[in-house]
Amino acid sequence: MAPDVRVVTFNAAAGNPRITTPQEAFLDLPFYREAFAGGPRAPLLALQEVGLGQARALRRVAGTAVVLQRRRPGLGNALVVPDRYEVLARRSGYYVLPQLRGIGNALRSGGRNWRQYGELRMWVQARLRDREAGRELTLLTTHVSADGSLKVPQIDAIVGRAKAAGPPVILAGDFNVPAGRERGRDVPAARLLAQLPDMAATSGSIDYVLAGGFEPVSSRIWTELVESAVSDHPARDATLRYS
């Protein structure tokens, strides 16, 4: 049987001024250390709201992992790929057309959420070879807008990208849709997300580990990160098994 795959999705909350954790300190968290230490059980990390200090530290850190990043001024997303996996291909980009489509829809309905309209969101994608399992898979991370008019076309685009990659595929990130508590524009957003089952489902969470071609084995929520004000998001840590 192929060994299980572990993936952690985590919003480091660099965009929240109430979170004052030094950006370099995130690399001392257990799942970061495990990823950079390497080995068969090292987790894949899907990171959002990565501040500039953390981005620099990720590039500098010694270890066996590959770090893939996409940034805009102040914030970025990142994938940390430990040495169990070979990076075969990498892509990243911004939601340009979904952003324009969402803004157009919002303005027609009287929306004036200018701060969100000016935040160009992004995604990071990697095609990997799992050396332990002898399988290939695709891993993506993103952080979509909190604005309802923007999040729907952005989620549509990234779910479509994940499905086009084909199973096995993992799409992890912050989707700003509270699971099981959808209202308004979150309803169509949730229907889009439901095209890929959540491997770490918890009611009310806006952070997801979605996958195709996998079955859930176990999951953990790092609630202590919120309790100790390290971030305003608990990391979601899921173990998956190839279908």
Asked if 54 and 12 touch (Cβ cutoff 8 Å), the reply is yes
> Does the structure show a pLDDT above 90 at 159?
yes
> Does the structure show a pLDDT above 90 at 151?
yes
Structure tokens at 73: 């001024």
pLDDT tens digit string along 178-237? Answer: 988 877 888 999 999 999 999 987 888 999 999 999 999 999 999 999 999 999 999 999
Secondary structure of residue 192 in the 3-state scheme: helix
Asked if 90 and 133 touch (Cβ cutoff 8 Å), the reply is no
pTM of the model: 0.95
**Which of 61, 39, 45 minimizes the C-alpha distance to 12?**
45
Specify the amino acid at residue 50: V
Structure tokens at 1: 């049987």
Residue 116 pLDDT class (50, 70, 90 cuts): confident
**Which of 182, 230, 229, 184 minimizes the C-alpha distance to 204?**
182
Residue 29, Cβ density class (10 Å: 0-12 exposed, 13-18 middle, ≥19 buried): buried
* Domains of the chain in sequence order: 5-242 (3.60.10.10)
| Segment 33-44 mean pLDDT | 96
> Does the structure show a pLDDT above 80 at 113?
no
Specify the amino acid at residue 12: A
Q: Which of 3-7, 25-29, 72-76, 220-224 has the lowest mean pLDDT?
A: 72-76
For the chain, the C-alpha Rg in angstroms (whole number) is 17
Structure tokens at 207: 């952070």
